[in-house]
Structure 1
């Protein structure tokens, strides 16, 4: 089906229905992050169960997930530009939910590695389709807020995974083994993964039954034309400087954010002797509150600057946030007081949260409507390689091969933030002129062209 075709399932979206769709997608995004991030709180029991090292755990957290998330991202983005995006998301949710449960019953390192790969592949269906659906449902001057609202699923899902997972770990420590129907007797930590399957099944049904596929905003000259695999790369090449600096800055931010998030629980456990259940609750609540506040503020600030005439509003806010986040993101790992470290972490989470939603909006804003699925996937690909793929492993490599001991995790995390955040600010600032030029060349279809 071409991007310009219409059918009875593609209907104009009212404001109320559009925001309802966004909040259902927020729930899906929250669940995806819960499924992918809960492993960060289970590092020690996983190491003990499979007799593996920090580096091998980092592969489960990062590379195993990111490998197929990246490989499947662009094909899923291409499908999002051609077929029913809602149905694509429903299918993905069902698959990744089952694969998450499989992580909980895996009997070997290889088995859990493969299950994590399937989770990554299935989750690749979500954001390219969601970005495209949201962009087709809101006018340009509300895009930052809409996409930032969707992206609050990141801190909400991660926060819920850590907070609830922390409580489950406390339970598991008192009940080392749990017997479940069909599954049988399993170690207590595995219950976290198995329990995450049920919300996915419920959410996929809610999405299928209550959310409609929105009409695509297609420029008149694109009506009836199919989308080629090569159009997105050609478009990036024609605006090379804008995308080079935008993607480069986003990658540095992702490296800092996801590299630290994967290891923050282990940092507090090792450097401040906090129980896993306690740091899970602290980290989860802070992420759910401070991360959400940062995301929403970033969307509002970006949209207001856009309305005030700043064509480069989104990358400009991202560069400012990278500078704002630098001091707390480095010093939180170096202070001796656990309370001060927690306070600095809250500020760091809010500052980096300013960037997360508008990073996606920045790409969608300079992308033609018929390429938004693919461009969303390419954005996710680059950010995921740097953040989810390289971030956790970079921290583990610094800890194990540079500093040489697990207790030095704090220094590895400080180095990561101290290098990547300034680089992000420099790249995004350098790209502002090219981004403005790309915005000037972009044409948004009117409501009548939908």
Structure 2
């Protein structure tokens, strides 16, 4: 590749010039858009995780087995959420994004309500599948819209702010579920749902779906941002389409490192969400209510802090032209993961262990919230939705399917003791930390060259962009 890394430094520093900023909306409107999409994402997490809080009553009323419950939590949502990501990503790159988000919100809100009126396993399964399909559109569309509202040196903070919804949403779902349980238990049958003869879990599903319906109208009122950083191609100047697989395969080593690092980061996050509660209940004999409250507060406070610091630091590195740019952020996260998981599982005091969990959550947010900006900065506008969708696919299929299962298998077949799940967490997460760090280290120069090349092509109008990357209708 002929482009020198120094070129990226010069071009990054020029991104903040008045001429460049004319392509972006006002800062006030841009942050208003981020706020609306942040709220939409929080609602999506609320609807996604509300099931996990009512497993007991749902299992009892519908006579479900543990296997059926696991299918509702995993395959019914996660599989279809991941599979539909790439088709939706292509729609995001070609059509009005706010309309796609509105359609997705209405679909997942309606199917969340259907969860609340389901009377058997298959009705609940297909309703959960609809929730996954509806939510699959939000992330790629939101990333693409936000990236078009901010120049590169401010994009990290904007996307990291949006990414705080991951942690606020998880915490809000825990707190909301607890509030519903408290209200229903203290109402003595006087609550509206109870008076209609509805079970508490049904009331919770319907109540969690209502904010999405209202939010859809707010999103509809947003102004669609103008698409920036479009790549002109020689092969198809009229449509300027770019083939995803051709673009990625020509730069495969950099993107393999990027997607691997963030898939492993997501894997650690899924492991903690799935097994940290069991660790505290089995090892420290904490009550479930106390575990839920503690983890909910930690998710919100530490998660938000990690996201904000990640956005600030990544923008600073981009503005200064630092080698590797935003992709240096995971180099900080993986040592944090290594140290904090050992402290969390080895310290004999529960409060000190929870402090280490907070540090781990902060580090996880630090690493994961850099993913959207790292990916958006490395692809032209025509591929932003699809490139983001690939991140969700790898994070979902690899992180969700392999992470929690790996811990369970170590517990069942290696340590042979459920009370020693902390050992299993170490056995799985420590090697992941080492692999993630090495992969990120190897990818620094590769990512820097890809970013430098892309910025040169955008700056020169794509004169060096060959027909090998030009798109037909089908990627690859």
Task: Name the TM-score, length of structure 1 as normaliser.
Answer: 0.88
Which of the residues 208, 216, 227 maps onto 1:216?
Answer: 227
Give the Cα separation in 2 of the matches to 1:199 and 1:237.
Answer: 41
Matched, 1:422 2:434: yes
CA contact (8 A) 1:247 1:382 kept: yes
Matched, 1:30 2:4: no
Displacement of 1:277: 3.1
Instruction: Show CA shifts across 1:306-358 (max 9, x none).
Output: 22221412221112211112221243234442212221111111111101221
Instruction: Give the aligned partner of residue 74 of structure 1.
Output: 86
Displacement of 1:55: 5.5
Give the Cα separation in 2 of the matches to 1:46 and 1:186.
Answer: 12
CA contact (8 A) 2:231 2:381 kept: no
Matched, 1:125 2:137: yes
Instruction: Give the aligned partner of residue 84 of structure 1.
Output: 96
Gaps of 5+ in 1: 1-10
Instruction: Give the aligned partner of residue 31 of structure 2.
Output: 19
Cα distance 1:438–1:352, how it changes in 2: closer, same or farther (>3 A)? same
Which of the residues 218, 236, 239 maps onto 1:225?
Answer: 239
Pairing of 1:59-70 with structure 2 (within 5 A): 59-70=71-82
Give the Cα separation in 2 of the matches to 1:163 and 1:316.
Answer: 34
Give the Cα separation in 2 of the matches to 1:202 and 1:355.
Answer: 32
Cα distance 1:184–1:233, how it changes in 2: closer, same or farther (>3 A)? farther
Cα distance 1:101–1:219, how it changes in 2: closer, same or farther (>3 A)? closer
CA contact (8 A) 1:151 1:357 kept: yes
Instruction: Show CA shifts across 1:181-223 (max 9, x none).
Output: 69953432343222111111111111112x1110111547356
SS at structure 2 position matched to 1:137: coil
Cα distance 1:292–1:303, how it changes in 2: closer, same or farther (>3 A)? same
Give the Cα separation in 2 of the matches to 1:327 and 1:12.
Answer: 41
Which protein is bigger by CA-based radius of gyration?
Answer: 2
RMSD between aligned residues: 2.9
Moved more, 130-139 or 114-123: 114-123
Which of the residues 315, 340, 353 maps onto 1:303?
Answer: 315
Gaps of 5+ in 2: 1-22, 463-476
Give the Cα separation in 2 of the matches to 1:314 and 1:75.
Answer: 27
Pairing of 1:7-406 with structure 2 (within 5 A): 13-49=25-61, 56-171=68-183, 185-209=197-221, 211-219=222-230, 221=232, 224-225=238-239, 227=241, 231-400=243-412, 402-404=414-416, 406=418
Instruction: Show CA shifts across 1:239-261 (max 9, x none).
Output: 00001111111111111012211
Pairing of 1:410-449 with structure 2 (within 5 A): 410-443=422-455, 445=458
SS at structure 2 position matched to 1:442: helix
Cα distance 1:282–1:190, how it changes in 2: closer, same or farther (>3 A)? farther
Instruction: Give the aligned partner of residue 8 of structure 1.
Output: none
CA contact (8 A) 1:55 1:396 kept: no
Instruction: Show CA shifts across 1:269-303 (max 9, x none).
Output: 34434333332222111111110010110111111
Give the Cα separation in 2 of the matches to 1:59 and 1:402.
Answer: 25
Task: Name the TM-score, length of structure 2 as normaliser.
Answer: 0.83
Give the Cα separation in 1 of the matches to 2:69 and 2:306.
Answer: 30
Displacement of 1:398: 4.0
